[in-house]
Amino acid sequence: MGDGSAMIRCTNCKHPNQDGAIFCANCHHFLAWESAPAAGGEPESEEAPDPPAQADPEPPPQPRAEGAPERSRESPESTAPLTPVAPTPGPAAVRDLVAVIDASGTLVGSRGRADLSRRLTGVRTMVQQRSVTVAVVGEFKRGKSTLVNALLQTAACPVDADIVTGTPTLVGYGERLHVVAHLQKPGDVDETTEEVRFEDLATLVSERSDDQPTDVRSVEVRVPHRMLRSGLCLLDTPGVGGLESVHGQLSLASLNGADGVLFVTDASQELTAPELGYLTTALERCPRGALVVTKTDLHQHWRRIVDTNREHLATAGIDVPVFAVSSFLRLRAARESELNQESGFAPLAEFLAGVLEQTLRHQAGRAAHEVDFVAAQLAHENDAERVVLARPESGGAMVEKLDAVHERARSLSAPSAAWQQVLADGIQDLVADVEHDLAARLRTVLRDARDIVDESDPKDTWEETQAWLRRQVAEAGVANRDLLLHRANQLSDAVAEQFSLESGSGVELELDSVTRALAALELPSASTFAMPGGRLGSVLSSGRLAAYVPLMALSVALNTTLLIIPPAALVGAVVGRTLFKMESKRQKVYRQGQAKAAAGKFVDEVAFEMNKDTRDGLRRTQRRLRDEFQSRAGSIQASTSAALAAARRASQLSPDAQAARAAQLDQETQQLGRIRDGMRTLATAGSA
Amino acid sequence: MVDELTTRIRALAAEARTSAAGPEGVAALTGVVERLDGPIRLAISGKVKAGKSTLLNALIGENLAPTDAGECTRIVTWYRYSDRPFATIVPNEGEPVETTYRRGQDSLEVNLDAHDPEAIDHLEIGWPTKRLADVVLIDTPGIASISAEVSARTHRVLSAERGRVPIADAVLYLLRHTHSADLRFLESFHDDEVAEGTPVNTVGVLSRADEIGCARLDAMEVAERVARRYETDSRLHRLCPVVVPVNGLLGHAAATLREDEYAAVAAVARAPKEVIGELLLTADRFATGESSLVPTEDRARLLDRLGLFGVRLAVELVRSGAVETSSGLSSQLAEVSGLGRLREVVLRQFDARARILQARSAVAALREIFARGDCSDGPALMRRLEQITSGAHEFEEVRILLEVRSGELSLTPDQAGELDLLMGGSGHEPGTRLGLTEAPSADRVRQAAVDALARWQAVERHPLSSRATQIAARAATRTLEGMLAG
């Protein structure tokens, strides 16, 4: 494997691609789905080739015909594909994972554990729905929307020479073309969604010329595009207008949820200091980034600009790839494919493939934790039974031990469990701390604002002061959200720790006769937490989501409170500027008072909105954490009682039946062991 | 009208000179008169890389302004007409010193000797070109990238702080294509202190206009559309009510188009359409692509001079037979570049107003001199000055115009538009003031004036009109009465 003969032929343009490619080098179509069937019509049977990238080959998963519906599209008879194809590591990991999940599902089903099979279904959905978000950010009019369009060679994002994108637009895969708008009506806490016609998209996302804030928070465009089938989602953002601006702060905050970031600048000029600053900050939040220099078709000296940009990056100590592209050529390449090379998009697609692969591997790792948890639950039951079968004489003692564990597991799901206390207290502390932090930040801002107003006449300076104030408040808001996020993660760690502490270290079992694959039996929870790649990946991701939602609300707060500003802004709008410097001191003092009141009111409004959002968000987080741990506790309890029952049952079997049962259990245990080994490998890879 | 005012102020200054105490007073008064008689001073301002120097070179028609990095860009530079070329260093302290310069490849390299750039107030370049005959251009450093000291200097050129005499009469503010439907716009616009230009004397220039439309052949029309939208944007309107799209690079190239460049364009234009399309697809292809039509280095140079848009346009013009000579191409390109229109806006539409602004600057300067006691009979002179200014309807008009444009008056949009025109917002000809198009007959003007008079008298008398509106309406009636009487 991995020699020159390993090629993936693109089904779209027949271009032979390098082994391991995710997108076709010629037309950038997504290849992984193609490679799956080519790997062998009736695939991944016992003799299926090992995935090349894995040093430690995974156990061949149980084939399940309906496990991967995509495969059935190709004729299974084609046993001799044109080229021997190796599946790519990223998506292959996902594909294998789905197979493993299904295999475990069969086992779980045979045990009648509804709780575990629910869990598996959830994981399976998460893995299959995989979405990898790459945000496209940059200053105004640098060609962000055009870049997205050019990448996909479709008109997914509206572009215009004059009008700019005003609403974040997520372009992702869908079976059919449709557009969904996420709306938040004034005063509503939750977003509502509404399907809109594609023709209305342009008016929806274009920046409006009037001052009215719109209800539209974001727009989702679903396109049946082959490249997007990989799970790639492109987030087109409004121009940031400098790190200093409110929008800059907000889109920076939204990067917390992105898996990759493309910073877009154009070939007309080198990176400016604000752009560089923004890039630095953006990469702190989303380390997988690249600089894309667009419009190379328009500027003769783009190579010099690109070189200068590279130097700037090197000076700033930023190590990201730089891609020079021409969206214009790439769009034309839809008709004349030979232009593709010239457009410079190939390395960019390669970069995206890298992001995709890494993220998917990471997601697979997260899912692996879950599958491992389920497998461990089953193994626990099996082991108890096997010990009793191996040493029938110790059956009584075994049952006693299991009884004790069962008791402990039951107390885990009781409302009085200590982890419940940690969670409840933690949330209360969190609310208090986060609110205090926001209050402190805003107070500083307000004090500065008052000083500024005192030092000048609002008539001349209010506009600037107002802009400054909005920036500062946005900055404070984002910093506060970061704190919230950080603390929420800490809390879920603390709860997890308490939980595993409580669930105990497990039962000591003498396993001399049951040697293979079983060193010690432990309560499953501990192993789940101790796995590499951090604890509770999936819970953390839901925590992140819950905290992410309020951020959108911050922009609402800033927008709606803007409506309150105008009366005060009038103070500033009465700008006689330099000609009318002769006004009485009294008037000035009056204006200063007005301005300070307006600033205070603005800050109050923002604090009010944000505190509400903090509470809402944390309540959601609390509920999610509680439900998650509750269901884990339930599973553990069910496992212990099943183990108990199994042990009792085993001790009452006839010797013949015991032997048969032991053989069956051995086989199952081996399978479980393989699954768990595989999952650990995946989890390790995902956390790398 | 303006001339009359100017004459009276000049006479007063001359009279004051006789009673001036000491040479400093005389010098100051001489300065006032010179300022009054001199050409308009036009400052060019904008962010770094907005295309200031390119525009300046295009306006002068020669490569004088340094278009790349270097000490000179950090210094405010004046370009004025002179019979012989010269370069003078005007230090913060002490007498101006003439210095040597060298004509470089693309710019004028002024020898700063041992002068510390920080200690130089500004440079003065004299150049014998008729394009500078009626205007003094003041190049200011881009503000985002420079030291606070330089920034302060730029600020002083543009602003009339505390009743001091502003150095520039009008301001060209270079905007690159930015956007917003909210205050972000002003946030980016207010990134420097240029806004000190008032709405009555600032012209917005949408620079690098061809890039907005991605160098397609209709790029300038797209830019025009953008400029119109900017003009209707109420917030921007307060800062610069007029926005002109300009492609400085093309304008400059058009003004200095050489015969061999025309030949190169023509050679490309003779090729079959598909070949041209391929060659002009990207800048890269044109500059370095394989083609025997024109030597590669010539193509690269042509591209540097005209830009991709310019090359595309020039080839299209020649190919379609719209132009057949280099001078024809030159004038066509000049027209498309928008440079001519900018000159017209500045010198025609702004000329009359700039004179008033000059006069106002002169009054401010005289007031300062009299108050300082540089003249023996200061109080008496001050009274005379007050008499002149209080009777000057021109000043009143500028003041009202400013109020209208800054949105201070509570008027309907129609009324505001009418008043803007009436106060000379688009020019001081009676027809223009009344909003009549073409060249209206005297009767037509008269009739329109009578109608308008009745309207504004009604506004003035209306019991619900605010005091400010009443005053504005009174000024309008006075303007109209003057028009009818004249």
A–B CB contacts, 8 A cutoff, strictly below: 123
Chain B environment of A208 (Cβ under 8 Å)? 181
Among A144-153, B24-33, B326-335, the minimum mean pLDDT is found in B24-33
pLDDT over 90 percentage in chain A: 5
CA angle (B435 as vertex; B430, B439 as ends), nearest 5: 60
Token reading at A159: 């572009």
A575 touches B at CB < 8 Å:
yes
Q: What sign results for the dihedral spanned by CA atoms A85, A86, A91, A96?
A: positive
Instruction: Please identify which residue in the block is written with the tokens 């505390």.
Output: B162
C-alpha dist (Å) from residue B8 to B4, B356, B382: 6, 13, 14
pLDDT higher than 90, residue A618: no
Chain B environment of A579 (Cβ under 8 Å)? 198, 399, 402
A331 touches B at CB < 8 Å:
no
Chain-centre distance for alpha carbon B74: 21
SS3 A45: coil
Out of A29-33, A106-110, B159-163, B473-477, the most confident range is B473-477
| pLDDT score at B259 | 92
| pLDDT score at A21 | 62
pLDDT higher than 90, residue A4: no
Residue B90 pairs in a beta bridge with B122
List the alpha helices (DSSP H) in A206-344.
Answer: 246-254, 273-285, 302-315, 327-332, 339-343
Of A208, A297, A463, the CB nearest to B181: A208
Query: Whose CA is closest to B213, among B248, B252, B247, B244?
Result: B247
| pLDDT score at A84 | 31
Between A305 and A403, where is the model more confident? A305
Q: Please say whether the beta carbons of B346 and B168 come within 8 A.
A: no
The interface residues of chain A toward chain B in range 134-153, judged by CB-CB distance below 8 A, are 140-141
A439 touches B at CB < 8 Å:
no
pLDDT higher than 50, residue B256: yes
Q: What is the distance between the alpha carbons of residues A132 and B341, in angstroms, rounded to a whole number?
A: 51
Among A41-45, A465-469, B427-431, the minimum mean pLDDT is found in A41-45
* A458: closest CA of chain B, how far (Å): 15
SS3 B54: helix
| pLDDT score at A241 | 58
Q: What is the distance between the alpha carbons of residues A481 and B406, in angstroms, rounded to a whole number?
A: 39
Instruction: Please identify which residue in the block is written with the tokens 């309907």.
Output: B412
- The whole-number average pLDDT for the span A532-561 is 36
Residue A23 pairs in a beta bridge with A30
- Give pLDDT tens digits for A419-439: 888 888 988 898 899 889 989
| pLDDT score at A14 | 67
Q: What is the distance between the alpha carbons of residues B312 and B282, in angstroms, rounded to a whole number?
A: 10
pLDDT band for position B317 (cuts 50, 70, 90): very high
Upper half-sphere CA count for residue B373 (Cβ side, 13 Å): 0
Phi, psi torsion values for B45, nearest 5 degrees: -140, 160
C-alpha dist (Å) from residue B464 to A157, B132, B411, B461, B468: 50, 50, 12, 9, 11
Contact (CB<8Å) B184/A246: yes
| pLDDT score at A522 | 31
Interface test with A, best of B187, B230, B281 (most A CBs within 10 A): B187
- The whole-number average pLDDT for the span B477-486 is 84
pLDDT higher than 80, residue B302: yes
| pLDDT score at A285 | 77
Instruction: Please identify which residue in the block is written with the tokens 């620079």.
Output: B207
Of B187, B222, B283, the CB nearest to A162: B222
pLDDT band for position A672 (cuts 50, 70, 90): confident
Maximum Cα–Cα distance across chain A = 109
Residue B175 pairs in a beta bridge with B206
Contact (CB<8Å) B213/A299: no
| pLDDT score at B407 | 66
* A471: closest CA of chain B, how far (Å): 10
Q: What is the distance between the alpha carbons of residues A123 and A24, in angstroms, rounded to a whole number?
A: 29
Query: Whose CA is closest to B133, among B32, B74, B59?
Result: B59
| pLDDT score at A86 | 32
- The whole-number average pLDDT for the span A606-626 is 76
β pairing state of A178-183 and A216-223: antiparallel
Among A651-655, B153-157, B242-246, B339-343, the minimum mean pLDDT is found in B153-157
pLDDT higher than 60, residue A107: yes
- Give pLDDT tens digits for B341-358: 888 777 766 667 777 777
Contact (CB<8Å) A164/B304: no
pLDDT band for position B149 (cuts 50, 70, 90): very low
Token reading at A357: 């692969």
Interface test with B, best of A297, A460, A475 (most B CBs within 10 A): A297
- Give pLDDT tens digits for A199-242: 888 887 776 554 445 667 778 888 888 888 888 888 888 776 55
The enclosing H or E element of B46 equals strand B40-46
Q: What is the distance between the alpha carbons of residues A27 and A30, in angstroms, rounded to a whole number?
A: 9
- The whole-number average pLDDT for the span A650-672 is 81
pLDDT over 70 percentage in chain B: 82
Out of A527-531, B17-21, B132-136, the most confident range is B132-136
pLDDT higher than 90, residue B480: no
| pLDDT score at B329 | 92
Chain B environment of A245 (Cβ under 8 Å)? 184, 187-188
Phi-psi region of B44 (alpha: psi -120 to 50; beta: other; left: phi over 0): beta
Contact (CB<8Å) B182/A211: yes
Between B362 and B201, where is the model more confident? B362
- Give pLDDT tens digits for A487-514: 877 787 777 777 776 664 443 333 333 3
Query: Whose CA is closest to B56, among B108, B93, B9?
Result: B108
Q: What is the distance between the alpha carbons of residues A161 and A243, in angstroms, rounded to a whole number?
A: 24
What average pLDDT does the structure give for chain B?
78
Token reading at B398: 């500028």
Of B188, B214, B402, the CB nearest to A161: B214
pLDDT higher than 70, residue A596: yes
Interface test with A, best of B184, B207, B218, B286 (most A CBs within 10 A): B184
Contact (CB<8Å) B406/A575: yes
- Give pLDDT tens digits for A264-284: 998 888 887 778 878 888 888
* A682: closest CA of chain B, how far (Å): 46
| pLDDT score at B316 | 92
pLDDT higher than 90, residue B130: no
What average pLDDT does the structure give for chain A?
70
pLDDT band for position B12 (cuts 50, 70, 90): confident
Contact (CB<8Å) A272/B144: yes
Contact (CB<8Å) A296/B284: yes
pLDDT higher than 70, residue B198: no
* B216: closest CA of chain A, how far (Å): 10
- The whole-number average pLDDT for the span A594-602 is 81
* B484: closest CA of chain A, how far (Å): 30
Residue A216 pairs in a beta bridge with A183
List the alpha helices (DSSP H) in B283-377.
Answer: 283-288, 296-319, 326-337, 339-344, 351-372
| pLDDT score at B314 | 93
- Give pLDDT tens digits for A338-365: 788 888 888 998 899 888 888 887 777 7
- The whole-number average pLDDT for the span A287-312 is 90
Between A450 and B347, where is the model more confident? A450
Q: What is the distance between the alpha carbons of residues A377 and B368, in angstroms, rounded to a whole number?
A: 92
Of B182, B198, B286, the CB nearest to A578: B198
Chain A environment of B238 (Cβ under 8 Å)? 575
Among B63-77, B246-260, B271-285, the minimum mean pLDDT is found in B63-77
pLDDT higher than 80, residue B456: yes
A245 touches B at CB < 8 Å:
yes
Between A238 and A145, where is the model more confident? A145
| pLDDT score at A562 | 33
* A120: closest CA of chain B, how far (Å): 48
Token reading at A488: 């929420």
A563 touches B at CB < 8 Å:
no
Q: What is the distance between the alpha carbons of residues A476 and A465, in angstroms, rounded to a whole number?
A: 16
Among A176-190, A616-630, B47-61, the minimum mean pLDDT is found in A176-190
Q: Please say whether the beta carbons of A687 and A532 come within 8 A.
A: yes
Kindly give, in sequence order, each residue whose CB lies less than 8 Å from that of residue B393, ignoring residues fewer than 6 positions away.
B1, B475, B478, B479, B482
Among A98-107, A528-537, B225-234, the minimum mean pLDDT is found in A528-537
pLDDT band for position A310 (cuts 50, 70, 90): very high
Q: Please say whether the beta carbons of A46 and A60 come within 8 A.
A: yes
The enclosing H or E element of A680 equals helix A655-687
